[in-house]
Copies of this chain bind each other. A is one copy, B any other.
């Protein structure tokens, strides 16, 4: 089910700059009981992405109305919102007058087994690197070839996520998740100042850290530092938190702190849904 600029359609002009240059942004939200979860946070990120790419911000109420009208059709789903710079001529220069395109679509929830949440998943290190670029770091933009190439590196169903390093060998994130590790009662996650996406779950977990009794630090770290962790987990808006029980040849426990953060995140999500 797809709404393009408010109409049920499934085709777009080939002149759209998302098609030509990946010139746009997206958001992926969980839909629970017909509600888009953490709408305000996703909207804030979209807004900040539009500002950074200088794409005129679509009307908040309009987007919310359209998103809600889709979510009401399916109690449990994934909602995807794409905002592009709209159509333009050939050439990188943007049109003087930008009319953004909005694409709002509803998708089935991926059928990940429950045990990923409970018993954890296996990850690998990807060879494909994330380019370092402060102008684009943090933004959930549509230039995603790095993730596409990284995700194409394995076809082994026993591996659920690939961990990506940047071009300076710093660990950044999973292909579709952000990454945390716990060591000596501290929560660590990669800085996203140079590469990576400012994930909504990542932000929530950092915000929750005082309540978790675990100070959170964002910094750069290498593979070996990650592999010396007590516990590791990945997160995103659709999966919540998955403990990581193996990376390459190294095993990790489904740690008690990870399970505690998972529970806190669940309560926080339920509270948000009830507001």
Contact = CB atoms under 8 A, between A and B. Distances in A.
B13 A145 contact: no
Interface in A42-63: 53-54
A22 interface: yes
A206 B136 CA distance: 32
A18 interface: yes
Contact of A105 (B14, B107, B131): B14
A151 interface: yes
Given A10-B13, A92-B151, A176-B92, A131 B132 contact: yes
Given A15-B10, A23-B148, A147-B21, A90 B94 contact: no
Interface string A71-115: 000000010101001000111111000000001010100100000
Contact of A143 (B9, B22, B92, B93): B22
Protomer copies: 2
Nearest to A131: B131
A152 B54 contact: yes
Contacts of A132: 131-132, 167
A2 interface: yes
A146 B134 CA distance: 11
B92 A20 contact: no
A142 interface: yes
Interface string A124-168: 000111111111100001111111111110000000000000010
Contacts of A91: 110, 151, 176
A194 B78 CA distance: 36
Contacts of A150: 92
Given A14-B12, A15-B10, A152-B94, A21 B133 contact: no
Nearest to A12: B14
Given A12-B11, A13-B11, A132-B132, A145 B78 contact: no
A175 interface: yes
Nearest to A141: B145
Given A10-B13, A10-B14, A144-B143, A93 B151 contact: yes
Contacts of A149: 53, 135-136
Given A94-B151, A133-B146, A167-B131, A14 B4 contact: yes
Given A94-B151, A143-B143, 12 more contacts: A2-B14, A12-B14, A20-B144, A23-B144, A85-B148, A91-B151, A92-B147, A92-B150, A93-B152, A129-B133, A130-B131, A132-B167
8 closest A-B pairs by beta carbon, nearest first, are: A131-B131, A22-B22, A143-B143, A131-B133, A21-B144, A11-B11, A92-B151, A132-B167
